[in-house]
Amino acid sequence: MKQNIAAQTPLLNPRDVDFLLYEWLNAEELTKRDAFADHSKETFDAALDLAADIAVQKLSNHYKDADANEPTIQPDGTAKTLPETKAGLDAINEAGFTFAELPADEGGIGLPSLISKAAFAWMQAANVSTTVYSGLTLGNGNVIRSFGTDEQKRLFLEPMIEGRFTGTMCLSEPDAGSALADISARAEPREDGSYAITGTKMWITGGDHEMTENIVHLVLAKVPGAPDGVKGISLFIVPKYLVNDDQSVGDRNAVNLVSLNHKMGNKGTTNCLLSLENATGYLVGAENRGLVQMFQMMNEARVAVGLASSAIGYTGYLQSLEYAKTRVQGRPVTAPTGPQVPIIEHPDVRRMLLAQKSYVEGGFALALFGARLVDDAHTAPTEEERTAAGQLLDFLTPIIKSWPSEWATRANDHAIQIHGGYGYTRDYNVEQLYRDNRLNAIHEGAKAIHGLDLLGRKVPQHGGASFGALLGRIEATAARAEKHEELAPHAAALRAASQRAVEVTMALGGTGDPALSLANATSYLDGLGHVVVAWLWLDQALATYAEDGAAREDAFYRGKRAATQYFFVYELPKAHTEFDLLAKLDRTTLDLDTSVL
């Protein structure tokens, strides 16, 4: 893709995007598959360049304004956003990026997920609060595409593909967030086959605005006589406006905006408390299957969160790097009477820059690796390959969502620190980037939920085959790396960490006490997440070597190896700290008398 984009606005490094796509993940190989036969590297690059142009021209231009001017409720009870927000969303939709992965005969571009996600990352880096409208619409539309009737697809999906409607997911309620078994929204069947939906939904991103003709809500609710718990949840399409047979917008449905939530970050996005009062809804699929269906959207959203978090961290890193090169402050300890130097000359600033580089480029690689698995799960040549890719993606999803959410946000914290006092002001973007990124460890499943999911469900599923497949890939990378003198110590360290992960996993699985095994599941998520990212860093480092085994020596490739070195020296030992704690089967938090807090 065009290499002058970063000079305009530091969002992502286009050289890194090219490396990850074409030198590491072999994106061009995808054009040999029937699903992507109409594409080429040229069409991939055109999509990436267009996304970067939209990011610079239509999204970054109102990033700070949207933060300073939150949406408001108008006298008619609807939410109003900045005109620039609508212009940005329109640009995304007109370019076809929301549904870029759909086949052309369904209104899409037919891009691989790998290219689509890389393109979307440019826009997330520029302005996540505007791009989220598009991301949620994609997830919503994919659920309807998978489980809806032909009529539902015609009335609701087609207008979303055209950019006329947006979509949301309405799961949480004021008293039921992560614990969806406790939702109270109810759906009463009507004689015409529709349902009357009554309840309150909280934290609904994009729940109301004036930017499109209609908003299609996917709402979780329970029908009369439904089983208790999550097995009794059904899924309904509840549009803001009823839709006529010709896809035109009809009467207002009984979905009302009660209030807007005022957030720490992502202020340009409406986040709503919605009240449904006998609103007309249409069942998606069968009754009591709602959560299973919605999880498709949630899993897509979770991968998107990891990508967004990496992108936000990435732009913060690049901005702090530019600042460190130009901000003159202090003198080296070896020349106390000499002239002041740019702060990038100070070792601790370099440490924070290397840390950011390792976190954001590592997280970005992780998210794009997940996107490549999506493509392989759908289009790999054999059923065996497709199944293996799908199972590995499912296993890694908690890590893809949670690791960047934690560590790319840590990168944003470092970016503020590098800016010093200026970083704490609105004069620079880094404080806003931190505020925007802080959400990502909370929404689409709080971090602890993903720790429980990883250790309690993903590790034992398929008889441990998915975990075994991951270990096999790690070993394959280590075996290749040990042949290079510079990388051999990292190969040994990676093997030791992965073996320690196996030992701890077996110890936790053998307690016979689920509460004890899962008490520190978040530590397990942190530890295994670091092992996975270390593996991906070592795999990237291997891609910096020529076919004859010689290390490529231009600054970009040396930067990849430097970040790998940093991660293995400074970061991978943190995995052992987590594993050591887990091996002790510590009961501190489990047995705590909460009255002492």
State pLDDT tens for residues 503-529.
999 999 999 999 999 999 999 999 999
Going by pLDDT thresholds of 50, 70 and 90, the confidence category of residue 179 is: confident
Q: Distances in Å between the alpha carbon of 510 and those of 357, 415, 583?
A: 38, 42, 11
Confidence of residue 4 (pLDDT cuts 50, 70, 90): low
Report, as an integer, the average pLDDT of 172-183: 86
Tokens of 434: 């931190």
Q: Is the pLDDT of residue 6 over 60?
A: no
Last residue of a domain, one of 102, 117, 145: 145
Q: How many domains does one find in the chain?
A: 3
Token pair of 184 as six digits: 């109270």
Under the banding of pLDDT at 50, 70 and 90, the label for residue 308 is: very high
DSSP H or E run through 307? helix 290-326
For residue 392, being part of any structural domain is answered with: no
Are both 181 and 140 inside the same structural domain? no
Evaluate whether residue 347 is within a structural domain.
no
Tokens describing residue 345 = 């000359």
Q: Does residue 528 share a domain with residue 491?
A: yes
- Summary mean pLDDT of the chain: 96
- Calculate ∠ Cα 129-169-181, nearest 5°: 130
* 160-181 residues labelled b (16+ CB within 10 A) or e (exposed): bbebebbbbbbbbbeebbeebe
Q: Domain of 28: which CATH number?
A: 1.10.540.10
What pLDDT score was predicted for residue 7? 53
In the predicted structure, residue 8 carries a pLDDT above the cut 70: no
394 pLDDT tier (thresholds 50, 70, 90)? very high
Mean pLDDT, residues 376-391: 97
pLDDT at 437 over 90: yes
Residues 92 and 20 in one domain: yes
For residue 502, being part of any structural domain is answered with yes
Cα–Cα distance, 187 to 201 (Å, whole number):
14
Residue 232 backbone dihedrals phi, psi, to 5 degrees: -105, 20
Tell me what the mean pLDDT of segment 248-261 comes to: 98
Q: Indicate whether 196 and 224 sit together in one domain.
A: yes
Closest of 168, 254, 263 to residue 211, by C-alpha: 168
Task: Give the domain-ending residue among 145, 176, 203.
Answer: 145
Per-residue model confidence (pLDDT) at position 3: 64
In order, the DSSP letters of 484-509 are: STTTHHHHHHHHHHHHHHHHHHHHHH
Kindly report the length of the chain.
597
Residue 484 to residues 246, 534, 538, 549, 550: CA-CA distances in angstroms? 64, 17, 11, 8, 9
Mean pLDDT for 97-122 is 98
Q: Per the domain annotation, does 57 fall within a domain?
A: yes
What confidence category does residue 254 fall into, taking pLDDT thresholds of 50, 70 and 90?
very high
Residue 390 backbone zone (phi > 0: left; psi -120 to 50: alpha; other: beta):
alpha
Q: Are residues 118 and 176 in the same domain?
A: no
Q: Is residue 89 located within the same domain as residue 140?
A: yes
Span 468-478, mean pLDDT? Answer: 99
d(CA 535, CA 477): 7
Residues 174 and 107 both lie in one domain: no
Domain of residue 460 covers 446-588
If asked whether residues 105 and 206 sit together in one domain, one would say no
Asked whether residue 175 is domain-assigned, the answer is yes
Interval 317-336 mean pLDDT: 96
Mean pLDDT of 160-171: 97
Cβ contacts of 148 within 8 Å, gap of 6 or more: 156, 157, 237, 284, 285
Residue 353 inside a domain? The answer is no
User: So which residues are the catalytic ones?
Assistant: 444
The string of pLDDT tens digits covering residues 90-108 is 999 999 999 999 999 999 9
137 plus 177 within the same structural domain = no
Residue pair 269/129 in contact (Cβ under 8 Å)? The answer is yes
| CATH code assigned at 189 | 2.40.110.20
Of 145, 177, 212, which closes a domain?
A: 145
Instruction: Check if the beta carbon of residue 238 is closer than 8 Å to that of residue 253.
Output: yes
Domain membership of residue 170 (yes or no) is yes
Instruction: Please give the average per-residue pLDDT across 443-463, as a whole number.
Output: 95
**pLDDT tens digit sequence for 56-83:** 999 999 999 999 999 999 999 999 999 9
381 Cβ neighbours under 8 A, 6+ residues apart: 33
Start-to-end CA span in the chain (Å): 54
Task: Indicate the pTM of the whole model.
Answer: 0.97
Q: Is the dihedral of CA 399, 475, 479, 547 positive or negative?
A: negative
Give 315's pLDDT tier (boundaries 50, 70, 90): very high
pLDDT of residue 177: 75
Q: 241 and 111 in one domain?
A: no
Residue 204 in any domain: the answer is: yes
Q: In this structure, are 127 and 170 located in the same domain?
A: no
pLDDT-derived band at 181 (thresholds 50, 70, 90) equals confident
Is 461 in the same domain as 579?
A: yes
